[in-house]
């Protein structure tokens, strides 16, 4: 099968978030998809099957399938816009989170994703034990969101990921399909974040589109802004252009191709 690696939410190689993109004619068994994702050993591998007018899209970490992934969707769209869909301005994907669309404006790609507003939750002891900080506040939707006092505090965090995995038990969650977002007001952008997801096999994700489904409505309300610029402060780093559209969010970024080749199964 055709295989590409695309660095998403960046305009230069070796930054942003690398995603694998696999092009299938028909769906392979789930255990084979999972083994391919484990072999690729990227935070996400996307699998695509073409249908009439759209693509079916699924996302796998090295250990499980997830219900929503931004950077691997952006990577998939980038590969298609530079391949089969050169003439298209929009590509639609049928996913576990419904129909998603990616549009392009010059070299910028924009995800149209569901908004996931957070609600307050306890500041669990696991957060303090694992990260050595006491958040200003804690929230939850499909992922946890921790508000910190500054960008400097956010940069300094060095989580104990084994301890952090215990949040599933302390919070009484049934699924491993969640992460922990930490966020603060940005020094030279509107807001910054990091994303930790050891329960899905990704200790720190470099740039996380799905996290911004919660971050955008959260910061839009706090800042009283509809349009915002965000940065994810992982080692690789990435920039996201954000727009709150009510029940949907718009997440923009660039991407670059790193690799193209074949997988033999």
- Which positions are annotated as active-site residues? 44
137-142's contacts with Cβ under 8 Å and 24+ in sequence apart are 139/214, 139/218, 140/171, 141/116, 141/117, 141/213, 141/214, 142/67, 142/68, 142/116, 142/177, 142/178, 142/210, 142/213, 142/214
Burial 89-102 (b: 16+ CB within 10 A, else e): eebbbebebeebbb
CA distances, 129 to each of 25, 151, 163 (Å):
47, 20, 7
- Cα–Cα distance between 102 and 92 in angstroms, integer? 6
- Cα–Cα distance between 162 and 118 in angstroms, integer? 25
Contact 1, 265 (CB under 8 A): yes
Q: Which helix (H) or strand (E) holds 73?
A: helix 71-81
DSSP letter for each residue of 28-69: PPHHHHHHHHHHHTSS-EEEEEE-SSSEEEEEE-SS-EES--
């Amino acid at each position: 099968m055709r295989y590409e690696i695309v660095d998403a939410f960046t305009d230069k190689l070796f930054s942003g978030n690398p995603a694998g993109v696999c092009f299938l004619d028909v769906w392979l068994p789930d255990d084979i998809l999972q083994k391919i994702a484990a072999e690729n050993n990227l935070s996400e591998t996307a699998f695509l099957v073409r249908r009439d007018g759209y693509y079916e899209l699924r996302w796998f970490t090295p250990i499980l399938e997830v219900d929503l992934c931004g950077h691997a969707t952006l990577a998939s769209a980038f590969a298609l816009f530079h391949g089969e869909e050169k003439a298209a301005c929009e590509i639609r994907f049928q996913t576990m989170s419904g129909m998603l669309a990616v549009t392009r404006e010059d070299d910028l790609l924009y995800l149209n994703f569901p908004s996931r507003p957070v609600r307050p939750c306890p500041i669990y002891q696991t957060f303090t034990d694992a990260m050595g900080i006491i958040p200003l506040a804690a929230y939850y939707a499909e992922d946890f969101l921790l508000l910190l006092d500054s960008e400097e505090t956010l940069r300094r965090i060095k989580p104990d990921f084994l301890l952090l995995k215990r949040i599933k038990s302390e919070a009484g969650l049934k699924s491993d399909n969640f992460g922990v977002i930490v966020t603060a007001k940005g020094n030279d952008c509107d807001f910054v974040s990091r994303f930790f997801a050891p329960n899905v096999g990704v200790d720190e994700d470099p740039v996380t589109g799905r996290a911004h489904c919660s971050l955008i409505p959260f910061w839009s309300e706090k800042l009283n802004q509809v349009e915002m610029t965000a940065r994810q402060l992982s080692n690789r780093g990435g920039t996201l252009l954000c727009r709150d559209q009510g029940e949907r969010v718009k997440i923009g970024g660039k991407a670059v191709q790193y690799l193209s080749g074949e997988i033999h199964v």
